[in-house]
Amino acid sequence: MQSFSVKGNIVDIDNQQIFYGLVTVANGKIVTLTTVNTDTKIGADYILPGFIDSHVQIESSMLVPSKFAKLAVVHGTVGTISDPHEIANVVGLPGVPCSFVTLTCYIFY
């Protein structure tokens, strides 16, 4: 898998600070996090943990989960806790699994 590095203002949630640093990724995992400057914020690029949307009805987007994910991830959302009650209201229990399956189960009417 590909390796790469990216510089930016790293948002350290645990220590409630922002510093300019370098993140190196290898094989899909962060392998190093290096501080370049502890005080200065440079530019407008920020690196922070992905967001988890704690309550979403994906079916309200009128998209299958895979299409929803492609749009959400570019805005920093890397996960959702999905509530499929709307599709269940429309088509009953048979609709619920469709909220978790991509493309192969699409029964929106």
Residue number with CB closer to Zn ion (13 or 62): 62
Provide the mask over 69-88, with x wherever binding to Zn ion is found by CB under 5 A and - wherever it is not: --------------x-----
Distance of closest approach, residue 83 Cβ to Zn ion, in angstroms? 4
Q: Shortest Cβ contact with Zn ion: which residue? A: 83
Residue number with CB closer to Zn ion (41 or 85): 85
Residue number with CB closer to Zn ion (18 or 63): 63
Residue number with CB closer to Zn ion (17 or 89): 89
DSSP-assigned states of every residue in 33-88: EEEEESS---SS-EE-PPEEEEEE-GGGGTS-HHHHHHHHHTTTEEEEEE-THHHH
- The closest alpha carbon to 102, from 56, 59, 62, 66, belongs to 66
12 binds Zn ion (CB under 5 A): no
* Count of residues near Zn ion by CB under 5 A: 1
Which helix (H) or strand (E) segment is 8 a member of? strand 4-12
Q: What are the Cα distances from residue 84, in Å, to 4, 61, 64?
A: 37, 12, 12
- Tell me which residues touch Zn ion (CB under 5 A): 83
